[in-house]
Chains A and B, each alone.
Chain A
Amino acid sequence: MMVETPKVAILFGFGINCDRETAAVFELAGAESERVHVNHFVNGERDLSEFHILAVPGGFSFGDHLGSGRLLGNRMRFAMREQLAAFVAAGKPIIGICNGFQVLVKTGLLPGREVPDFEQRASLTLNNSGRYEDRWVTLEFDPDSPCIWTKGITRIECPVRHGEGRFVMPSTTDLDALNENNQIVTRYVDPTTKPGEGITDETLPFPLCPNGSIRNIAGICDPTGLVFGLMPHPEAAYATFLHPHHTRSEVNEEILAEGMQIFRNAVEYAQANL
């Protein structure tokens, strides 16, 4: 073990909203979180190299005007390019949740290349319903994915809260390539299927697939498995009492819930590899 307590940079500012809870779950997973304003990295007062993990939390950066994640994505693409490239080259994990996922897609870090070229190859666009919605979904994970964030996770439940979560790529070939590399880390599934057997390419009806995403894609990773983005909010499922069904059983004395595993995985990865 080289790093005992990994340091996590939680981006904030310009309409990022989920910075506090994202910081909290990394702390609960054994890391040390710091909320750092985007401009601290842009103006050079701080550098990403001080940190072991980077999280781009959910929110409405720049109001999502001009498309979700685009304007913050541009700030990162043009003003933090070298820091980001160095961070990825150093083998350090990055997560983007909801708006953070949209940002990573628009910077080109996802689905990305082995060595980032900051070219946008996919997009996240308006839900087919035309509406922003907050609802709980069931996610299943590709057991063969290189994603370091999702090791050992089969299925979790957590909320989606977005209006632009429909994952699209220009062609079927692009999607097939993503699939072959096991970069399609997580998908929306029908909760009545058996865990491990829920994944399907056929788009599930609303609201099982809440946004009409192609192949029910909820989250993807880059080829290295270090950069991970997803629309749903695992951090909002960090505690047992946040599950909408928690009153349907006896009181659960255990506080931490399944959403934590994603953050623990990254912390453990950093402890073992950085």
Chain B
Amino acid sequence: MRDVRGDSVKRQLVADHGIEISKVRSIVGFLISSEITADEVASRADDVFADPIIEESATDSLHLENKELFSNSPDMVVTIGFKPGVTDNPGKAALDGFRTIFPNAGGDARVSTYLTYTFEGVPEGVEVEWLAKQLHNGLIERALYSLKGEDFPVIEYAPITPSDYAPPAVVDLEISDEELMKLSEEGLLALNLEEMQTIQAHYRDPEVRAVRAELGLPENAPTDVELECLAQTWSEHCKHKIFAAHIHHVDTETGEDTEIDSLFKTHIMKPTLEMKDEVDWLLSVFHDNSGVIAWDDEWSMCMKAETHNSPSALDPYGGAMTGIVGVNRDILGTGLGARPIANTDVFCFGPPDWEGDLPENLFHPSRVLRGVHAGVRVGGNESGIPTVNGAIVFDDRYIGKPLVYCGTIGMMPRKLPDGRESHIKNPEAGDRVYMVGGRVGYDGIHGATFSSLELTEESPSSAVQIGDPITQKKMLDMILEARDAGLITCITDNGAGGLSSSIGEMAEYTNGCRIDLGKVPLKQEGLSSWEILVSESQERMTVAVRESDVPAFEALADLHEVEATWVADFTDTGQFHVVHGEDTVASLPIEFLHDGVPQLRLESEWKTPTNPDFNPPPNVNHSSLLMRMLARPNIASKETWVRQYDHEVIAQTAVKPFVGVERDGPGDAGLLAPVHGSTHGLVVSNGISPRYSDIDAGAMAAAAVDEAVRNAVCTGVDLSKIAGLDNFCWPDPIESKKTPDGKFKLAQLVRANRELERICRAYFVPCISGKDSMKNDYGTGENKISIPPTLLFSLFGNHHDVRYTTTSDLKPGESLYLVGESKQELGASEISYMLSESGESDGIGGEVPRLPNPEKNLESYKALTKAIQSGIVRTAHDCSEGGIAVAIAEMCIGGRCGAAIDVDGPGEADLWGRLWGESLGRILVGVKQENRAEFLAAMKGQPLTYMGEVTDGDTLSVWDGDDLIIESNVEEMVMAWKGSLDMTGGVQ
């Protein structure tokens, strides 16, 4: 029998390090502690732990010592197990399976898993310690190893570190400002001086003191429970303080000097609310876990995107997995519970072939890519949610902090069987609050505050967790049944800030709650009150249930084998009241908790950055440039990675990530038909263009919105019903000693917001939900790495009929047209980066793509979508990185056919601009001969240029008037485009 697990390790060592090992084998191990004897276990081992057809099992002995299985003693052996307290999903499942066979295993039965790899034929110079390091992450796993002749490693149970319950402590805040800041920093509270002083002042208020005296709490000082709860609730992560800040903005070039009272309110909320007044389909914006739109009379749709950057930097696999299952919970926690129906994943990494230095504590970008991809793959696939659209973007600066954007779309019936509208939560004082799903542990303490700090070498491991998709899936099944049975009055997820945030936020509806921490089920004993309250342990929802519905709700939980525990009650006392058994451990006024955080006052100053010009060499061979561009990680096919996502579960994906003859051409946007048997569709797309920030973050934001809309237009979206999500990832924009250029970074944010508003208004895309992550830096001083300011714009929209759509692959006999105009905009383009990196150009400077007249773009988008909806256009592809040259090459790849086009057309751009420029608003379209007249009539008055024809041959020819400037063989383009990110080390 082939050892596929071993083979995979072998191939990966070749792909990532060029190391050939003759043979790698794997052994799966289980440590079992129970009432069952070893003999009994051995007799049933093949029923649970091993597959009798393909595996050999042994109990209480090492396979390695079995000469029949291992006739050659391996050169090296590495055994990997989890560290204490880290989620062991296979171990959990194994215990469940063990109990099926041995119901009398005992209440304390435990199963832990480990993996052993054996290596034969290891080349000289490869150290076992190094090998072990490649196979595990020391933050969450431990590795034992041995060399030939040494005793084989024998792993023991991860010791359970005994923890002592510490009763709530009183924190003295009557201290100096320096001491206040020390308290904040050392306690990982991530609060600034003004915020610490606001808390200090709260405990000096005589009225507050009187209330506290009555409750038996220390009158003039917070308990640690209260301080931690405030720190979580007031964290940048939860309160978006930078977006809510008062900003003094100066533009040194125009002389502008203005005050902005909250970027969020000014540029996101206000435009959306004004748009909401004009349409009837915006059901719920901003206040819930995701924004909700009416899709038709029966169904509503919602969408949310989240980032999980810091955890993914420390543990790419676990961090990314909790990212995806976490955003799924945002959907489940929308309204009275929506069902996740599709995921989108957008990642930003350092170059996978990076050969430069790496700062301490950071993984190589290829390892980050593998880990993040695996986490999202497992999280999405095991949850049964298709990944329908996404992107992977590369830039050196993401070595400092990878960006992991996970988005999810949800669907719910607009009315529940009991007549309630599903997008409205309606809890009442007296409702019981249940914690549903997983238990609370040390994992995930301080996630929210940690993500509000920059990464350092000392970043804590407790902030990292591993998701458990199956526990979550069981919970999801159960909650959707409970929703349809009318048992839920309010629901939200436990993400950042844990119970303190989830119950705290829901308590705003009824103006109060009373939580009993003593009731909360724990993974391990000994957690202190504040730890229980703020732990972000995964797979938990908080659900409110009317008392009369309690029996039905608990019965459903039993059926699905989901733990649901009554931990709190809603009240109307105005207090966030926390007890632990008999003792009150915290009481905070709801108003102070949610609205007490002082507004930041920040300084912003804009000065256009200078970049050496993009000045390409005069005589170049554009055909060879095209081959190099197709292999650029930002352009190359991501097929190896994306194909590992299930993009078709639920049987609804009408335009998949892969299109064309060989099903490997790029899909522009995802198109779903979520109601089985119906052709009514939903479009999902994304736009991201971070490098434009090197010239102007405003242009970067405009480009992201336009790209998302353009991609959706390619499917024939219904432009009268599209909604967007703004997801900002920024380097710290607050000026300080460690961020001397904070004013500039904030000015970038101001400009990005202004362009976001301008384009969204012009395209009528309300931003119905969003997120920001504002501390994406690594290190300090000269070695500091800050990411390029990045806006991911995600879009979802209506589609009348999924049969009437296009894909990017060329079809035989089509004529090619360009919708939109090419301008001389090569600044920060992919070609400019490629040629500056190689020294063929001085830099990337020049005009960055802009949208001076978005209303005009919208007109041509409308005309094109109408033509697509009528069925006369079956081919369309948006022009983005690499401009027309790359777009047409990708279309030939999808169609496995040739094309002849002429880029000489209207406008003033030179050949470089027309060929490689990334001007916005452009879409290449293919139209069959018989539909040409109708198409031209439909596009009358729009900027439209005839480009050329699809040919029968296998060559892409690009002409500039009479000059043939590109002549490329399609199969060679396929090889260039698909080769560079393959990274599999070869299949079979």
Contact = CB atoms under 8 A, between A and B. Distances in A.
Contacts of A161: 381, 646, 648-649
Contacts of A131: 8, 644, 984
Contacts of A233: 648, 651
A1 interface: no
A236 interface: yes
A62 interface: yes
Nearest to A247: B807
Nearest to A236: B651
A206 B986 CA distance: 11
A244 B659 contact: yes
Contact of B53 (A37, A123, A159): A123
Nearest to B647: A134
Contacts of A235: 651
A241 B802 contact: yes
Interface stretch (A12-20, A86-94, A140-148, A175-183): A12-20
A255 B677 contact: yes
A196 to B, nearest CB: 23
Given A62-B96, A236-B648, A168 B1 contact: yes
Interface stretch (A2-10, A70-78, A215-223): A70-78
Interface in B1-34: 1-2, 4-5, 7-8, 11
A158 B524 CA distance: 47
Interface stretch (A21-29, A47-55, A264-272): A21-29
A130 B4 contact: yes
Given A63-B470, A161-B646, 4 more contacts: A18-B649, A67-B51, A120-B52, A159-B648
A154 interface: no
A92 B168 CA distance: 62
A37 B560 contact: yes
B804 interface: yes
B689 interface: no
A44 to B, nearest CB: 12
A261 interface: no
A167 B461 CA distance: 41
A70 B654 contact: no
27 contacts: A12-B477, A13-B560, A15-B469, A15-B470, A39-B560, A60-B381, A60-B469, A78-B100, A78-B101, A123-B54, A128-B988, A132-B381, A132-B644, A161-B646, A212-B2, A212-B988, A238-B651, A240-B803, A241-B654, A241-B673, A241-B679, A244-B658, A244-B659, A247-B805, A247-B809, A248-B807, A248-B811
Contacts of B649: 17-18, 21, 58, 161, 236
Nearest to A68: B51
Contact of B679 (A14, A135, A255): A255
A38 to B, nearest CB: 10
Interface stretch (B86-94, B360-368, B818-826): B86-94
Nearest to A12: B477
Interface of B: 1-2, 4-5, 7-8, 11, 47-49, 51-54, 89-90, 92-94, 96-97, 100-101, 377, 381-384, 469-470, 473-474, 477, 559-561, 643-656, 658-661, 663, 673, 676-677, 679, 802-807, 809, 811, 871, 874-875, 984, 987-988
Given A122-B53, A133-B643, A168-B1, A65 B651 contact: no
A33 to B, nearest CB: 11
A32 to B, nearest CB: 15
Contacts of A159: 648
A129 interface: yes
Nearest to B93: A65
A168 to B, nearest CB: 6
A28 B8 CA distance: 41
Contacts of B377: 132
A24 B94 contact: no
Interface string A234-259: 01101111101111101111010000
B677 A24 contact: yes
B93 A71 contact: yes
Contacts, number: 207
Q: Which 7 A-B pairs have the closest CB atoms?
A: A17-B384, A24-B676, A65-B93, A130-B8, A21-B651, A123-B53, A126-B4
B48 A74 contact: yes
Nearest to B985: A130
Contacts of B677: 24, 27-28, 239, 255
Q: Which of B92, B377, B653: most chain A CB closer than 10 A?
A: B653
B809 A248 contact: yes
A40 interface: yes
A133 B48 contact: no
Nearest to A20: B650
B381 A125 contact: no
Contacts of B477: 12-13, 37
B806 to A, nearest CB: 6
Contacts of B803: 240-241, 246, 251-253
Interface string A98-131: 0000000010000000000000111101111111
Contact of B561 (A27, A39, A58, A205): A39
Given A134-B645, A134-B646, A255-B677, A66 B651 contact: no
B647 to A, nearest CB: 6
A233 B653 CA distance: 13
Contacts of B811: 247-248
Contacts of B645: 134
Contacts of B7: 130
A241 B655 CA distance: 8
Contact of A70 (B51, B646, B806): B51
A46 B213 CA distance: 57
Contacts of A63: 89-90, 93, 382, 469-470
A225 interface: no
Contacts of A236: 648-649, 651
Nearest to A205: B988
Contacts of B659: 244, 247
A273 B96 CA distance: 39
A24 B663 CA distance: 26
